[in-house]
Amino acid sequence: MNDIIIAGIGGQGNILLSRVICQLFTNRGFDVKSAENIGMSQRGGSVVSYIRVGDNVGPIVPDGEADILIGLEITEAARNINKINKDSLIILNDRFVKPKNSELEKQQILKYFEKNFRKLTIINACNIAFKLNMPKAENITMLTLICKKGILHFSKEEILTVLSQVLSPPMYEMNKILVEKVYEKY
Amino acid sequence: MKKVLMGNEAVAYSLFINGVNVAVGYPGTPSTEVIETLKNFKDDDFYVEWSTNEKVALEIAAGASLAGARAVATMKQVGLNVAADPLLSLTIVGVEGGLIVFVADDPGPHSSQTEQDTRNFARFCNLPVFDPSSPKEAFELIKPAFEISEKYKLPVLFRMTTRVCHSNQSVEFEFKREKKKVKGFVKKPDWVILPALSYIKHVELKQKLQNMKKELSVYNKIEGRGKIGIITGGVSYFYVKEAIKGYDDLFSIFKITIPHPLDEEFILEFVKDKEMLIFIEELDPVLEEEVKLILFENGRIISTYGKRNGYVPFAGELDVDKVKDILNRIFSNKLHIKENTLTDILQIPKRQAQLCAGCPHRNSFLVVKYATKGQDVVFTGDIGCYTLGFAKPISTTDTCLCMGASITMAQGLKIADASKKIIAFIGDSTFFHSGITGLVNSYYNMHNITVCILDNLTTGMTGFQPHPGTGKKIYGEEGKKVNIENIVKGIGIEKILVIDPYSDFTENVDKVREFLNTEELGVIVFRRECANLKSRKSYFKINQNCLKCKVCINVTGCPAIDEDENGSIFIDSVLCKSCGLCKNFCPNNAIEKVMENE
pLDDT, tens digit, for every residue of B469-484? Answer: 999 999 989 999 999 9
What residues in A contact B353, CB-CB < 8 Å? 40-41, 45
Dist. CA B146–CA B70, nearest whole Å: 8
A126–B341 C-beta distance less than 8 A: no
Instruction: Report the residue of chain A nearest B2, measured CA to CA.
Output: A26
B169–A32 C-beta distance less than 8 A: yes
CA distance B573 to chain A (A): 10
Q: Least CB-CB distance to B166: which of A35, A44, A100?
A: A35
Segment holding B452, helix H or strand E: strand B450-455
CA distance A144 to chain B (A): 20
Dist. CA B45–CA B177, nearest whole Å: 11
ipTM of the complex in this document: 0.91
Average pLDDT, chain A: 91
**Averaged over A27-37, what is the pLDDT?**
90
CA distance A158 to chain B (A): 15
Asked if residue A39 has pLDDT above 60, the reply is no
Among A4, A38, A93, A104, pick the best mutation site for testing chain B contact (most B Cβ within 10 A): A38
A19–B4 C-beta distance less than 8 A: yes
Closest by CA to B84, choosing from B127, B114, B129, B121, is B121
A116–B238 C-beta distance less than 8 A: no
What is the value of pTM for the model shown?
0.94
Segment holding A127, helix H or strand E: helix A125-131
Give the SS3 label for residue A160. helix
Residue A43: what pLDDT?
Answer: 67
Residue A99: what pLDDT?
Answer: 86
A78–B348 C-beta distance less than 8 A: yes
Find all residues with CB under 8 Å of B579, minimum gap 6, and list them: B357, B358, B359, B360, B362, B363, B502, B531
B14 class by beta-carbon count within 10 Å (0-12 exposed, 13-18 middle, 19+ buried)? buried
Q: Are B166 and B106 in contact (CB under 8 A)?
A: no
Question: Does A58 lie at the interface with B, CB-CB under 8 angstroms?
Answer: yes
Query: Binning pLDDT at 50, 70 and 90, where does residue B146 land?
Result: very high
Q: Least CB-CB distance to A58: which of B170, B320, B324?
A: B320
pLDDT in tens, B497-512: 999 999 999 999 999 9
Segment holding B472, helix H or strand E: none
Q: Least CB-CB distance to A59: which of B29, B167, B354?
A: B167
Query: Per mean pLDDT, which of A22-36, A123-137, B132-146, B344-358 is the most reliable?
Result: B132-146
Q: Are A53 and A3 in contact (CB under 8 A)?
A: yes
Dist. CA B12–CA A184, nearest whole Å: 40
Beta bridge partners of B465: B459
Instruction: Report the residue of chain B nearest A9, measured CA to CA.
Output: B351
pLDDT in tens, A70-95: 999 999 999 999 999 999 999 999 99
Asked if residue B234 has pLDDT above 60, the reply is yes
Percentage of chain A surpassing pLDDT 90?
A: 75
Dist. CA A34–CA A50, nearest whole Å: 5
**Averaged over B437-446, what is the pLDDT?**
98
Question: Does A98 lie at the interface with B, CB-CB under 8 angstroms?
Answer: yes
Residue A41: what pLDDT?
Answer: 47
Residue B598: what pLDDT?
Answer: 54
CA distance B210 to chain A (A): 33
pLDDT in tens, B39-85: 999 999 999 999 999 999 999 999 999 999 999 999 999 999 999 99
Q: What are phi and psi of B125, to 5 degrees?
A: -105, 15
The string of DSSP letters for B139-189 reads HHHHHHHHHHHHHHT--EEEEEEHHHHTEEEEEE----------------G
A9–B351 C-beta distance less than 8 A: yes
What residues in B contact A165, CB-CB < 8 Å? 3
Dist. CA B201–CA B150, nearest whole Å: 17
A75–B348 C-beta distance less than 8 A: yes
pLDDT in tens, B250-300: 999 999 999 999 999 999 999 999 999 999 999 999 999 999 999 999 999
CA distance B587 to chain A (A): 22
Residue A42: what pLDDT?
Answer: 54
